[in-house]
Structures are given as C-alpha cells and as structure tokens.
C-alpha cells in the first residue's frame, strides 16, 4: 500500500521538479553545506517534504499517517542515494514549519533539533553594551592628548623652582 502512495507522489510533476532541483542543488553545493551549513539541507528538505505532503494529502484524503510515512521513506532513500549522513545533521531551522513537516523531518534526520537563534532584543542589547564601553587612560599616558599640558606645567614648576633657588644665592 505504501508503495502505491510513494509511486503516485513521485509521479506528480511538481514533486518531480522539486526533487530534480534538490538533487542538482545538492550535487553543486552539498560538500560545502555538509561541512559548514547543514541546517540549509534541513530547510531545503522541509520544503520538499511540504510539497510531497500536499500532493499526498490531495491524492489520499484521510490517510495522512500513511502519506507521512511514505514521504519520509522517499526522502530517506533520496538522501542516502546522495550520500547525506542523516544522523550527523543535528541543527535545522524548524520554526515556522507545519507540524506534519516537522514529524517527517524528525524521521528523516533523527538527531535534528531547532537551531538556536538569539532574539532581536537580545542582539540589540548586546550592540548597545558594546558601544557604551569606556576607554580609560592614565593622566600620564602619552596617548592622552591632555597629558602634554600636564607635563609642560610640571616642567615649568620645576624650572621655576630651580631659577628661584639659583637666583636667591646670588
């Protein structure tokens, strides 16, 4: 029964196009994505899963569980064919995905979890803290532009004291 569902989902033109695009995309960028951004593979797989689920639900109303299992089976087969290490992918952007798509993704990628994203207020607060940082300088630091005046004043006092001492002995 599941084979019928799989074959009818795969016979859909929309699914064929999406699968072909995914295969070309993965063959072109797969090595980079698996090394640096595996969450992008999860996002792209979620899109294909959604398209397949929509097609399957339209073809087999009332058999949602069977359609989900069939879609997961199709995706697992395709990813294994492409050499994707499904167990090694641990992070993916699951927010905003439908619940049925997330269920399929959890079957396809057994170790996947939501990618941590900082909230916008937290990012803004960090930027403000970084901009408010104070630069501290010693009064005698040569980097401080006002220090040359202090040194000049001290030199004037020392020279004045020396002159007074020398002139008072005459």
User: pLDDT digits over 81-120, tens only?
Assistant: 999 888 888 888 888 889 999 999 999 999 888 776 666 7
Adjacent-strand bridge partners of 113: 91
Q: 105: buried, middle or exposed (CB in 10 Å: 19+, 13-18, 0-12)?
A: buried
User: pLDDT digits over 66-92, tens only?
Assistant: 999 999 999 999 999 999 888 888 888
pLDDT band at 144 (very low <50, low <70, confident <90, very high): low
Q: Within a 10 A sphere around the Cβ of 115, how many other Cβ atoms?
A: 15
62: phi > 0 → left, psi -120 to 50 → alpha, else beta; which?
left
Per the model's pLDDT, the better-predicted residue between 110 and 140 turns out to be: 110
Between CA 147 and CA 138 the distance in angstroms is 9
Using DSSP's 3-state secondary structure scheme, residue 11 falls into coil
pLDDT band at 125 (very low <50, low <70, confident <90, very high): confident
Of the listed ranges 41-50, 94-103, 118-127, the one predicted with least confidence:
118-127
């Amino acid at each position: 029964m599941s084979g019928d569902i799989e074959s009818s989902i795969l016979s859909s033109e929309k699914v064929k196009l999406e699968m072909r695009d995914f295969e070309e995309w993965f063959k072109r960028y797969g090595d980079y994505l698996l090394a640096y951004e595996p969450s992008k593979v999860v996002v792209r797989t979620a899109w294909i899963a959604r398209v397949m689920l929509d097609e399957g639900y339209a073809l087999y109303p009332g058999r949602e569980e069977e359609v989900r299992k069939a879609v997961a089976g199709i995706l697992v087969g395709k990813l294994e064919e492409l050499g994707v290490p499904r167990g090694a992918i641990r992070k993916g952007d699951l927010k905003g995905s439908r619940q049925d798509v997330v269920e399929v993704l959890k079957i396809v990628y057994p170790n996947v979890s939501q990618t941590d994203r900082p909230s916008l207020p937290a990012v803004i607060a960090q930027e403000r803290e970084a901009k408010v940082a104070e630069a501290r300088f010693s009064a005698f630091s040569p980097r401080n532009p006002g220090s040359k005046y202090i040194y000049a004043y001290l030199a004037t006092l020392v020279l004045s004291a020396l002159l007074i001492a020398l002139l008072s002995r005459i």
